[in-house]
Structure 1
Amino acid sequence: MEKNEYKNMYHQENNFWWYKTLHSLIIDVVKKKKDMNLSIFDAGCGTGRLMELLDDFGTVSGIDYSEEAVAFSEKRGLKRITKCDLNNWIPTESYDIITSIDVLYHSAITDDYAVLQKFYGALSNGGTLILNLAAFNILKRDHDIIVHTKRRYRKKAFVKKLETIGFCIEKATYRMPLLFLIIVVQKLVYEVFPSKNIQSDVQEPPKWMNTMFWLLGKIENSFILKIGGIPFGSSLFIVAKKCNNES
């Protein structure tokens, strides 16, 4: 990710609809544990807003390879955060929950399968892995240049990868179908009217638009949690459990 994008992320993360919707979904998944003394690890914590929200559920620690990200996380008052590259990360604890939100897609991740294996090893039996991933190669655009996207994922292939490692899938669904459609249309428009400015999608929208997308996101979250999956979207959301192979 470009260094300036961390500053942008830090200032947007609390109120921007995209972050609020995703964080709300993650928190609702964690609440199902009905435990306020969880050991939680955020792998690739960025500027730390999710860690801040998860703090109510137990002991939260995190890592990020970026000095800028760590500095912004510490600015939030977070203490249990370390600068570390996930490729070289060696788990030293056992966690009830591991979150890794829009990290595996990154060009700095040399082997996403190896990182997933580390997550599996670092979870306690029955522990939960929560992932959000960039989806569908057709959506690659200027934003992906800014955030250094190397790969986008499809559900079937990724679920198979997790199951090969030993995970049991609790939830696997795409998210943000409306955003998917907006991006496709936007790409078509840019092919006719190219833009000279390359920028990320994390730009402050008008208040009414932010509120509208936040409300739509809440409805979508409720659908995902209570009813089922969505067949397409801009992101892939996964909740996987470390199966107890000894049982």
Structure 2
Amino acid sequence: MEPAEYDLMDAAEERMWWYRALHARVLDALARRPGPPGALLDAGCGTGGLLRRMAALGRPLVGLDYNPGAAARAAAKSGAVAAAGDVNRLPFADRAFTALTSCDVISHRAVDPGAALAEFRRVLAPGGTMVLNLPAYQWLYSAHDARVHNARRFTARGARGLLAATGFTAIEARYWNALLLPLMILQRKVLRSDAEARSDVAPFPPLLDAALHAVTAAERGAARLGLRYPAGGSILVVATRP
């Protein structure tokens, strides 16, 4: 990403409704499917917000980000080991981890999705769990994606096919951020359709932030009871390395 976007992420990810909702979803997935005991890799850890929250899992944590400065911030923020590296060529041994998370990474223009997924499979031990978050729908591409260097967005069906082709099994791909999707479309495709618009990562007014987070929390609660959404702004994918 552009250096300024890392600064925005570092400042916002602790409290901004989007990051809190995303991290809660990832933690829910790991609670359901933790994989065998062992170390967890966050591939594309950014400035470490998710790593910090995953410290409560009580397992060894490793972060990796392409930007050395971001990796250093992630280590300082989370207390985890964090290194600079490329998800297309992970600097880790085969079967080094029993779980792996990667949020909005294989959508980046510098990432080859097939190569990155093959590397994720390589460094996972058999039975290991992978949790991905992906941006949904190519037609929703906007100035935000350009700012964070996204090149592609996905569908749940396409994500399942991509992971199956890489050799993952027990694949779940579910849309989320569904209730706010109409507002997301309005903001990105109407109100801020200018190609020069800034990204969506920014501090929100406290009342608005609380309201948006409340919507995501209600949606998460319904999902935990079994409700599935036919569409959403993001896709959470959980799979197993056989």
TM-score by length of 1: 0.89
Output the CA distance in 1 between the equivalents of 2:122 and 2:34.
Answer: 23
Q: Is the 8 A contact 2:157 2:173 kept in 1?
A: no
Residue 23, structure 1, aligned to residue 26, structure 2: no
Which residue is 2:105 aligned to? Answer: 103
Instruction: Using the aligned pairs only, state the percent identity.
Output: 30
Q: Is the 8 A contact 1:6 1:69 kept in 2?
A: yes
Task: Give the C-alpha shift of residue 88 in structure 1.
Answer: 2.2
Which protein has the larger Cα radius of gyration, Structure 1 or Structure 2? 1
Output the CA distance in 2 between the equivalents of 1:179 and 1:97.
Answer: 30
SS of 1:108 mapped into structure 2: coil
Residues 186-217 of structure 1: CA deviation (Å, up to 9, x unaligned): 345348xx658521101211111111111211
Q: Is the 8 A contact 1:37 1:59 kept in 2?
A: no
**Mapping of 1:205-216 within 5 angstroms?**
205-216=204-215
The one-letter amino acid of 1:96's match is: T
Instruction: Give the unaligned 5+ runs of structure 1.
Output: none
Residues 45-98 of structure 1: CA deviation (Å, up to 9, x unaligned): 000011111122200001101123113213315341111111222431521210
Output the CA distance in 2 between the equivalents of 1:188 and 1:170.
Answer: 31
Instruction: Give the unaligned 5+ runs of structure 2.
Output: none
Output the CA distance in 2 between the equivalents of 1:80 and 1:89.
Answer: 15
Which residue is 2:74 aligned to? Answer: 73
The structure-2 alpha-carbon separation of the partners of 1:228 and 1:117, relative to structure 1 and needing over 3 Å to count, comes to farther
Q: Is the 8 A contact 2:34 2:129 kept in 1?
A: no
Output the CA distance in 2 between the equivalents of 1:227 and 1:119.
Answer: 28
Output the CA distance in 2 between the equivalents of 1:170 and 1:196.
Answer: 35
The one-letter amino acid of 1:138's match is: W
Residue 12, structure 1, aligned to residue 29, structure 2: no
TM-score by length of 2: 0.91
Output the CA distance in 2 between the equivalents of 1:106 and 1:20.
Answer: 21
